[in-house]
Structure formats: structure tokens, C-alpha cells
Amino acid sequence: MLKYAGTHAWAMRLADGLIASGIRPGDHVGLIVANHLEFVPLKFAIAAAGAIAVPFDYVYRQDGLAYVFAQSGCSVLITMTSFGDLDYPAMLDAIALGWANGSSEKLPSLPRGQPGCFLQGLRAPLVGAR
């Protein structure tokens, strides 16, 4: 069982990582994360960094994901690698090629050519695009 103190400590470590990777107050951070334990500290971390969490429905297929992505104003995406038969990196590559390494024109508010940041230690691996 995860208690509040553990959730807070986890969220603060994630917030430090988000800030170190370039997240700034007011940035929109897209979340494609199922209802897993990691969702709670991620939401707290985004808030602690001063950013705005934009949760995407994790069962969207490519067309739905593309529509929401285009409307979201996200400069960063944090996503599961998969859920069931859904392959999020592959869908995002089709929508915004280069999203994971900072070269996508569809994530214009972050510096180009920065490496993706990988949030480790999570039961469901997450990839943050920069």
C-alpha cells in the first residue's frame, strides 16, 4: 500500500526530473497513462512543477489520439509504451514523427534536438517527449 508520504516523495522526485528536463510553469503536459498507481504521483508532480496536466483517454486509437493531441497545446507527452494492443510510441510516431527526441514540429515550444527523458522505476514504463 502506498501512503501519502510515499506518494509525496515520489511526486517530488518526478517533479524535480520534469523541471530538470525543461518543464516550466504553464506548460501543458500530456498524459497517456491508464489507471495505474503511477498516475497519482505524476499528476502531483506536474502540479508541483507548475505545469498543467492534460490527461488523454488511454484507450484512444490513432485518429482519436491525433485529434486530442492537436487540440491539447501540449509541449510534452508522458505516455505508457502500450496498453492491450495499443502501441503508443508507434501511434505517436505516425502523428508527430520525432516526438520522442525533440525533433517534431508538432511540439514547437520545447528546444529542438533534446533527448527524450525516460522516467524510470515505474511499473508501466513511461516516456516523456522533449
- On whether the CB atoms of residues 22 and 67 are closer than 8 A, the answer is no
What is the architecture, at CATH level 2, of domain 4-128?
3-Layer(aba) Sandwich (3.40)
**pLDDT for 102:** 57
Q: Kindly list the domain boundaries of the chain, sorted by start residue.
A: 4-128
**pLDDT for 4:** 92
For the record, the C-alpha cell of 16 comes out as 524535480
**pLDDT for 28:** 92
**pLDDT for 125:** 37
**pLDDT for 97:** 66
Angle in degrees, CA 59, 32, 95, rounded to 5: 85
**Helices 88-95, 62-72: inter-axial angle, 10-degree rounding:** 60
**pLDDT for 100:** 63
pLDDT of the chain, 130 residues: tens digit per residue = 779 999 999 999 999 988 988 889 999 998 988 888 888 999 999 999 999 999 999 899 999 998 988 888 888 888 888 888 988 888 888 887 666 655 555 544 433 333 334 333 333 334 444 3
**pLDDT for 94:** 85
